[in-house]
Amino acid sequence: MPAKDIFHNAVKYALEKDGWLITEDPLYLDYGGVEMYIDLGAEKLIAAERDGNKIAVEIKSFISSSTISEFHTALGQFINYRTALSQKEPERQLYLAVPAITYETFFKLELVKIVIQLQNMKLLIYDPELEVIEQWIS
């Protein structure tokens, strides 16, 4: 199984353990002339629901050799996805799923903290091995 799918499935199982119902996997998102699901290189989105709350989750592994490159792309995708969601399905909240090890290191850097705050990014911190959610940050 490609590494990307391992992380994707880890988040999916973690959400299920946490009581979420996976409603779309992958979530196909298109809006305003852009079919974002045709971006095959990108990680796929998951849609989930619990107690009437609807979320979409962009899953990142951060296993590439350049964490900053991966962060550039994750951030751009997040903003494009969130913008599309806000127009199509404004009640659905977008989360970026980040492995705990990456959150404890790269995400503690000053620049990354400022960007997360300025852009109001919601994070879901997960343990890819135990397949559990460690923290929700809104």
**Which residues contact a copy of itself (rule: CB under 8 A)?**
31-36, 38-42, 66, 68-69, 71-77, 79-80, 83-84, 87, 109-115, 118-119
Minimum distance between the CB of residue 96 and a copy of itself, rounded to whole angstroms?
12
- 106: exposed, middle or buried (C-beta count within 10 Å: 0-12, 13-18, 19+)? middle
Task: Mark out the alpha helices in 1-138 (DSSP H runs).
Answer: 3-17, 67-88, 100-104, 110-118
- Return the amino acid letter for 134: E
8 A C-beta contact, residue 123 and residue 95:
yes
Minimum distance between the CB of residue 65 and a copy of itself, rounded to whole angstroms?
10
Closer by beta carbon to a copy of itself, 21 or else 114: 114
Minimum distance between the CB of residue 79 and a copy of itself, rounded to whole angstroms?
6
Closer by beta carbon to a copy of itself, 3 or else 34: 34
